[in-house]
Chains A and B, each alone.
Chain A
Amino acid sequence: NAGVTQTPKFQVLKTGQSMTLQCAQDMNHNSMYWYRQDPGMGLRLIYYSASEGTTDKGEVPNGYNVSRLNKREFSLRLESAAPSQTSVYFCASSEHVGTVRGEQFFGPGTRLTVL
């Protein structure tokens, strides 16, 4: 099993350019998440998908859109990149039983720089 995979690993954009970060998981998890990690601020939730067909905003959704393409794949799109979106982006997935939330499994991250 590959777990959670992310592409690309590194990306440099110019202000105003758009791009899509791809994420896939092979653990048959219902829930998937996108986080950004910035120095001194920990992990902050951008968007999440509790189950296939649903998406919801997290703590910092502005400037981003997401698509839960199917149960395996959850993509994050930056329509018009800004320098403030320079960060490391992590995708994660988890399973849950009722209201009990399981541990999250993380991808290796995408290091994005916006000039």
Chain B
Amino acid sequence: SQELEQSPQSLIVQEGKNLTINCTSSKTLYGLYWYKQKYGEGLIFLMMLQKGGEEKSHEKITAKLDEKKQQSSLHITASQPSHAGIYLCGAVPLSGTYKYIFGTGTRLKVLA
């Protein structure tokens, strides 16, 4: 079955630093979604990317999808303690399927 590889698995950064989380598939994706999960809580939707080369930003978070639609990155600029949590990428691996797949997550800690 198709998988999403996320890296790194965990990340500790000093407040104010930039960071990048990657999400990679061996096959073309038909929708890429980024979520944030606080410990012990549900997933909060951040951004959705559909087209190759697409880039979206919200506040200090930018997500990109490569032209082949196989790799996405999530970049946080000037990190803050409020950015701490688990970031998960999800994707639709086949056009029209309802079977979303998810990466195993990246645990982010931001030191004040």
Contact = CB atoms under 8 A, between A and B. Distances in A.
Contacts of A56: 98
**Which of A40, A56, A58, A104 has most chain B Cβ within 10 Å?**
A104
A58 B35 CA distance: 21
Contact of A105 (B45, B92, B95, B97): B45
Interface in A32-47: 33, 40-45
B59 interface: no
Interface string A85-104: 00000101000100111111
B88 interface: yes
Q: How large is the interface on A (under 10, 10 to 19, 20 to 34, 35 or more residues)?
A: 20 to 34
Given A42-B104, A106-B43, A99 B99 contact: no
A103 B1 contact: no
Interface residues of B, number: 28
Interface string B88-100: 1010100111111
Given A41-B104, A42-B103, A107-B42, A99 B98 contact: no
B41 A109 contact: yes
Contacts of A40: 104
Given A40-B104, A48-B98, A58-B99, A101 B42 contact: no
Given A43-B90, A100-B50, A102-B48, A59 B1 contact: yes
A14 to B, nearest CB: 24
A83 interface: no
A77 B43 CA distance: 22
A90 B42 contact: yes
A102 to B, nearest CB: 7
